[in-house]
Amino acid sequence: MHIDHAHADHLSEQVLTARTRMLFSHIPMGTTIAAGLGALIAIMVDYMVDQSLGRQGWGWLTGLLVLASIHISRSILYFRAKDRDHPRWMRNIKFSIAGLSIWWGAMLWMLPIRSHIELQATLIGTLSGLAACGAFMLTVDRTAARLWLAPMLASVALYCTTLSSVLGLFGAISVTGFLGVLWLETGRADRRVGELLFLRFTNDRITASQAVALREAEELSQAKGQFLATMSHEMRTPLHGILGLSRLIRGELRSQEAHERMNLLESAGQHLLGVINDVLDYSRLQAGRIELSPAPVNLPDLAREVTSLAAVNGTEKGLDVVLDSTLPADYMVHADGGRLKQILLNLLGNAVKFTEQGQVIMRLRELAHEDGMPSRISLAVSDTGIGIPEDELARVFDAFHQVDGRYERKAAGSGLGLSIARELCVAMGGELSCDSKPGQGSTFEC
């Protein structure tokens, strides 16, 4: 709860600082234009009245220019200051705004226009427009806008009551009503500005928090990948030693039972080595450190070799593992042969693993190429296995994902084979897709 209050207080300070900056940013231009308008009014009145502008009139203009200069200088000092978030800046500028408004309101009283109804009407309209324009520019702060409106328009309304005519009374009522409308609107505008600023700074805070969280997640992911790569490498070294030592010991064994136990030991070691290799490859892929070594590869020969390797496990389960290729025997491709072999072994091994009866077929096809485009090769592995439910197809390539928990005992593994195969396909300019129906089998195509 204390953190929420602190957060709200910090946002309020940011909103106040932004309001102050926006308020000061309007002052130089607005005040300069208003001072120029005051000079034009003085010249017009001096030209149109029978007598000269008079000491009071020139005194009003001089006072206006002095107050405007002070107002502008405060704005310049604000933008040069280092402590712009200090409350005194807002306080001082409000005093300055009120002073200017009072001085503008004194214009009708100090200029010699008493016997010139046209000038009176013109200047009353001018002051009303000036009040509205200033209020619009100062809506970022309700108090500042009202300090500009109230003294000026109150003076205009009071002046209208001294005209002792129906038009004067109408003018007083109209100006008072106009003041009331602007008073209410400045309050609404102030609330809208406050809400927008609050949302802006809240959004900035959320964006910054998300950026920090994303950076931390990326760093954590990199650290995890580095940890997996390091541990996989460190685990492979003694495991290779264990497997090598088991082969040496095999020659000293005499009984069949001892050989069977050694076979189990080597099988478990090879399985563990495969899992470690999968984790190492996956961590490298995630870190973007997989390097391909493209070279000319005889694709039909490679496919026959991989099919023969997979057929060993398939034959033990009573499966037919066959190659169906329409490519010429000497068909060459430019690819990383080792990684391509890894993809095919993963796909064939996965198919054999989840097929209890029937067959596993690897198909090689050359796809018709478009004009000006090189031909593409389709590598597809189909099986007659258990298939994949439709709602699981979207996740079949996710790392460490098992399609259904009831198959885990039948098909133990790291859950990385398909994920690695897909990443390698993408790295080699292809895409791995899956089409499957439960109970009918699956087809993986790269």
Check: CB of residue 60 under 8 Å from CB of residue 107. yes
In terms of Cα–Cα distance, which of 303, 421, 308 is closest to 364? 303
Q: Which helix (H) or strand (E) holds 434?
A: strand 433-437
Torsion region of 372: left, alpha or beta (phi above 0 gives left; psi -120 to 50 gives alpha) = left
235-245 residues labelled b (16+ CB within 10 A) or e (exposed): beeeeeeeeee
- Provide Rg for the chain, Cα atoms: 43
318 vs 279 pLDDT, higher one: 318
pLDDT score of 286: 65
**Is the predicted pLDDT of residue 154 greater than 80, yes or no?**
yes
CA distance 278 to 268: 15
CA distance 130 to 194: 24
Note the pLDDT tens digit of each residue in 163-174. Answer: 888 888 898 899
pLDDT score of 408: 40
Strand ranges in 162-312 using DSSP code E only, listed in sequence order:
295-298
**Is the predicted pLDDT of residue 246 greater than 50, yes or no?**
yes
CA distance 15 to 13: 5
Mean pLDDT of 77-102: 87
Token readout for 184 is 């209410």
Check: CB of residue 161 under 8 Å from CB of residue 172. yes
In terms of Cα–Cα distance, which of 437, 413, 432 is closest to 422? 432
281 vs 132 pLDDT, higher one: 132
- Beta partners for 444? 381, 434
Q: How many other C-beta atoms can be found within 10 angstroms of the C-beta atom of residue 140?
A: 21
CA distance 436 to 443: 6
Mean pLDDT of 404-428: 64
- Can you give the pTM of this predicted structure? 0.53
Q: How many other C-beta atoms can be found within 10 angstroms of the C-beta atom of residue 292?
A: 14
H helix and E strand count, the chain: 11, 7
CA distance 193 to 252: 88
Note the pLDDT tens digit of each residue in 281-333. Answer: 666 666 666 777 888 888 888 888 888 888 878 888 888 888 888 888 888 88
pLDDT score of 409: 41
